[in-house]
Amino acid sequence: MLQWIDIGHRYGGKTVADGLSLNVAAGETVAVLGASGSGKSTLLKIAAGLVRPQQGRVLFQGEDYTFRQPEQRRFALMFQDYALLPHLNVWQNVAFGLRLQGQPAAAARAAAEAMLAQVGLAAEAERPIHRLSGGEQQRVALARALVVQPQALLLDEPFSALDSQLRAQLQQLTRDLLRQHACPTVLVTHSPREALYLADRVCLLAEGQWLQQGTPAELMARPASAAAARLLACDNVSTERYIPQHALHLDHTQGSDSVLLALRPQADVWQLLWQHPQHGELVQWLPGGPAMPAVGSRRALWVDEAAVVWFQAA
């Protein structure tokens, strides 16, 4: 288990960690979701030994790692920009950590090439790094992180530089590989979709403090506050309440006097914007298709009030 215990840290006058504690079990993937500057990358750097916390401790399997040098921790940190070595080719980059651990060249190369096969780059082992696409570089960085059999894996915004289609493909690959390597994994990201897809548990961070923690299903079902709901990119959030999609219903018999303001195609779904007499403007999503959804202009949307999350009452 990887643990942060009562971590406190400041940069100048800005607090990025205010008594934060977090436990990540073996085989568990935890996402730390927060806006830029919220302190999420600092947590990774503290775990990796690149930043010494001003308060608190880092433990692994009950041992205090707070003052251990980075090379003594055997934690793999995958950076946002991949940090590949331009003077080494693909397999040499993947084998770099193994060579630092003292493995013979032949054994390190064999392990690197086996890992490259797992990420779909077996045929690219001899290529120079500068001739790889962004997605290929991401896979090389992931292979380099996993080949050393790390005690813990730390992922710092690893997909942010990729286009949406490639990002989805590599998230699937990463998810599959993480399930094969049963080490504690922490992903920091500002993407709610990425956090909810990849993680077993999501921790919402703002201004150095946890807003909420839970499984993706728990968070989406009941955000603890408007700030938490907005961090999760939920629709239909005000300071008082959150109306989830399952609370919205098309039914011309309910007498809601709602007005359809706009209907827009969005990739494979339709976005409907309603003016509701009680809750104001609401966004509803319907499955996409070539035909326009059959909705009227009035008396078509009603809200199941039992499904509304009221923050003041929580």
Q: What is the mean pLDDT of each run of 10 residues along the chain (314 residues)?
A: 96 92 96 91 94 96 94 87 88 91 92 91 92 88 89 88 76 84 91 93 95 95 95 95 93 76 86 92 87 68 92 66
4: left (phi over 0), alpha (psi -120 to 50) or beta: beta
Confidence at residue 305, expressed as pLDDT on a 0 to 100 scale? 92
Confidence at residue 306, expressed as pLDDT on a 0 to 100 scale? 94
CATH architecture, domain defined by 235-310: Beta Barrel (2.40)
State the CATH class of domain 2-226.
alpha beta
pTM: 0.87
123 Cβ contact partners less than 8 Å away, ≥ 6 residues apart: none
Confidence at residue 314, expressed as pLDDT on a 0 to 100 scale? 46
Domain 2-226 and domain 235-310 have a common topology: no
**H/E element, 170:** helix 164-180
Is-contact 60 67, C-beta < 8 A?
A: no
Point out which residues pair with 7 in neighbouring strands. 20
Q: How far apart are CA 100 and CA 121, in angstroms?
A: 23
Confidence at residue 42, expressed as pLDDT on a 0 to 100 scale? 93
Q: How far apart are CA 132 and CA 120, in angstroms?
A: 13
Confidence at residue 282, expressed as pLDDT on a 0 to 100 scale? 96
Most distant CA atoms of the chain, gap in Å: 75
Please give the DSSP secondary-structure letter assigned to residue 240. S
Residue 245 burial by CB count (10 A; 0-12/13-18/19+): exposed, middle or buried? middle
- Give domain limits for the chain: 2-226, 235-310
In the three-class reduction of DSSP (H, G, I as helix; E, B as strand; rest coil), residue 291 is classed as: coil
Q: How far apart are CA 167 and CA 150, in angstroms?
A: 24
